[in-house]
Structure formats: C-alpha cells, structure tokens
C-alpha cells in the first residue's frame, strides 16, 4: 500500500494575515512585559532596593508564620491584621515558598532560563523536574526487585479477570476450565488430563 502525501497550501485573506501579525506582535510585547514584571517581582532586595513584590510578600508571610507551630496555618485574623487579606491565598503561599526555597529556585532558574511569567508556572516546572529526577533515580536502583516491590498486590477479582481472559483468548470454554480447576482442587486432575 502506498501513501500519497499532498502538500496543501492554506490561503488566508490579506486583512486576516495583517490582523494576525499585529496580534502576534502585541502578544510578544505582553509576554516580554510579563517576564520582565515577573523577574522584578522575584528580585531580591539589597541596600538600595527593598525587593520585588513577591519577595516582600514572602517576607511578611515568613514573619507571620514565625509565631505558628509546625504545620499550623496562619489565621485569617492575622492575615487581615497584617493588611494582606485582599491578596489571593495562592499568591501568598507562592511568595512564602519563593522566600523559603530561594536557593533552589535560583539554581533552577539559572539552569532553565528566564522563560517564566508567574510563580505558578515556575513552581509547576520545578515540581515536574523533581518528579522526573525522582523517577529516574528510582529506575537506577536495584531494577527488578524494586519493580516487584512496587507492584500492587492483585485482588481476587483481578486474578479471576485474568483467568477468564486467558481461558477465552485461548479458545477454551469456561465449563472446561472450571471442570479442570475443580478436578485439580479435588486431587482428581490425573483422571481429567487423561
């Protein structure tokens, strides 16, 4: 069988093409601004500057959490008292993570470029890379032993489903198979096999 490969040229009007190019240029400017704003927000402060928005917010969250016990949430009342209750909780959490994991985040950014426009995207990429690294290190381990240990224990339903599939896939009837099983269990398998 031979396949014919045709190249079809898609034609759009000049007006549509002009509008598309204009939108692409606007999008490119927006993305560039978003990346610039993001990097300004995560910028570390020094004696001349206070730091970016997310760094400042993260520092406030660290101070609020300093009085909390391990695993406790910062109370809504405390967040309101600090005046940051109108900032979404996800943004507050991401800012806290930015400040507490700064060294690892900076290392990740150096290795993976500056293509991010939000903390959400950055943390998603960091988490994905960590999972891939973890999976790779697990596969480098003892090999089959780990795979056997990691395999879930099959249930009786699983075993029966496999049994039924094997019997029917090989052209046997379930009656024949069940007769063989009963004979095997009763110790009468020699008579059935003959």
172-183: average pLDDT: 81
State both tokens at 150: 């990691």
Q: What is the pLDDT of residue 148?
A: 47
pLDDT band of residue 40 (cuts 50, 70, 90) is confident
Is the pTM higher than 0.85? The answer reads: no
Annotate 168-194 with DSSP letters as a single string: HHTT--HHHHHHHHHHHHHT-HHHHH-
State the Cα–Cα distance between residues 2 and 36, nearest whole angstrom: 52
Q: What is the pLDDT of residue 24?
A: 93
The residue among 142 and 121 whose pLDDT is bigger is 121
Q: What is the pLDDT of residue 8?
A: 80
Range from 6-10, 45-49, 94-98 that averages highest in pLDDT: 94-98
The CB density around residue 192, as the number of other CB atoms within 10 Å, is 14
174 and 167 in contact (C-beta within 8 Å)?
yes
Q: Give ∠ CA 43-121-102 in degrees, rounded to 5.
A: 40
User: What is the dihedral angle through the alpha carbons of 177, 182, 185, 190, rounded to the nearest 10 degrees?
Assistant: -70
Query: How many Å separate Cα 166 from the centre of its chain?
Result: 36
Q: What is the pLDDT of residue 38?
A: 84
17 and 60 in contact (C-beta within 8 Å)?
no
Specify the 3-state DSSP secondary structure of 10.
coil
Q: What is the pLDDT of residue 144?
A: 52
Separation in Å, CA 61 to CA 65, 97, 126 = 6, 10, 21
Task: Name residues whose C-beta falls within 8 Å of residue 87's C-beta, 6 or more positions apart in sequence.
Answer: 57
Specify the 3-state DSSP secondary structure of 88.
coil
The residue among 62 and 144 whose pLDDT is bigger is 62
The radius of gyration computed from the CA coordinates of the chain, to the nearest angstrom, equals 31
Q: Is the pLDDT of residue 48 over 80?
A: no
Q: Is the pLDDT of residue 150 over 60?
A: no
Question: 46-60, 128-142, 152-166: which has the minimum mean pLDDT?
Answer: 152-166
State both tokens at 1: 């069988």
Mean pLDDT of the chain: 80
Q: What is the pLDDT of residue 181?
A: 78
155-167: average pLDDT: 74
């Amino acid at each position: 069988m031979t396949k014919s490969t045709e190249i079809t040229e898609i034609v759009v009007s000049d007006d549509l093409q002009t509008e598309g190019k204009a939108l692409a240029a606007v999008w490119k400017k927006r993305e560039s601004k978003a990346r610039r704003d993001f990097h300004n927000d995560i910028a570390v402060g020094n004696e001349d500057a206070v730091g970016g928005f997310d760094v400042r917010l993260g520092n406030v969250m660290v101070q609020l959490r300093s009085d909390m016990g391990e695993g406790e949430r910062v109370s809504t009342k405390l967040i309101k008292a600090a005046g940051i209750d109108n900032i979404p909780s996800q943004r507050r959490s991401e800012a806290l993570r930015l400040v507490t994991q700064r060294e690892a985040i900076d290392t990740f950014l150096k290795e993976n470029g500056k293509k991010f426009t939000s903390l959400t995207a950055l943390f998603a990429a960091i988490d994905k890379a960590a999972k891939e690294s973890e999976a790779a290190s697990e596969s480098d381990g003892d090999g089959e032993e780990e795979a056997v240990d990691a395999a879930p224990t099959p249930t009786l339903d699983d075993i029966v489903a496999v049994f039924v599939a094997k019997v029917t896939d090989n052209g046997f009837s379930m009656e024949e198979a069940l007769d063989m099983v009963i004979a095997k269990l009763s110790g009468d398998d020699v008579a059935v096999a003959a």
